[in-house]
Structure 1
C-alpha cells in the first residue's frame, strides 16, 4: 500500500536525505520519496504495523505528522537530523 504523510519541521534536502535513508532501513518499507516544498513523505508499506513504525520513526527523527504535537524537543531533533542529512553521502 502507498501512503503520504505531511510532516512538520521538514525544511531542506538535508532533512529529506535523513528521512529517506532512515525509512529505507525499515523492513517492508520501500519507494520512499520526500518533497520538502510540500512537507510530504510518500512510501510503500505492507501492514498497519509497518505504517506505525514509519510514524514512530518520523516522530523520533523530529518530523511529527501534521496532526501530531510539535514539541520543542521535536524541533531540536529535526535540526540534528537535518545536519546529519547534509553531511551524509548520497
Structure 2
C-alpha cells in the first residue's frame, strides 16, 4: 500500500536525504520519495500501524505532519536533520 503525508519544515535536498534514509531504515517501509516542491513524503508500507510509526519518526526528526504542533524545538531539529542530510548526501 502507498501513503502520502504532507510535512512541515522541509527546506532542501539535505532534509529530503535525511528523511529518505531514516524512513527506509524502518521495517517494511520502502520506495520513499520526498517532494520538496509539495512538502510531501510518499512511501509504501505493509501494515496500517506503520503509518503512525512514520509520522512519529518524521516528528522526531523535526518534520511534523501538516496540522500537527510545530514548536520552535521541532523547527530547530529540522535544521539539524537538514545539516546531517547535506553532509551525508
The within-5 A match list for 1:59-70 is: 59-70=59-70
Matches of 2:47 and 2:71 in 1, distance apart?
28
> Runs ≥4 in structure 1, deviation > 2 angstroms?
none
Deviation at 1:16, TM superposition (A): 0.2
CA deviations over 1:14-50 (Å, ceiling 9, x no partner): 0000000000000010000001111010000111221
RMSD over aligned Cα, in angstroms?
Answer: 0.6
Could you say which residue in structure 2 is the equivalent of 1:23? Answer: 23
Could you say which residue in structure 2 is the equivalent of 1:47? Answer: 47
TM-score by length of 2: 0.97
Matches of 1:55 and 1:61 in 2, distance apart?
10
Q: Which runs of 5+ in 2 are unaligned?
A: none
Matches of 1:45 and 1:60 in 2, distance apart?
19
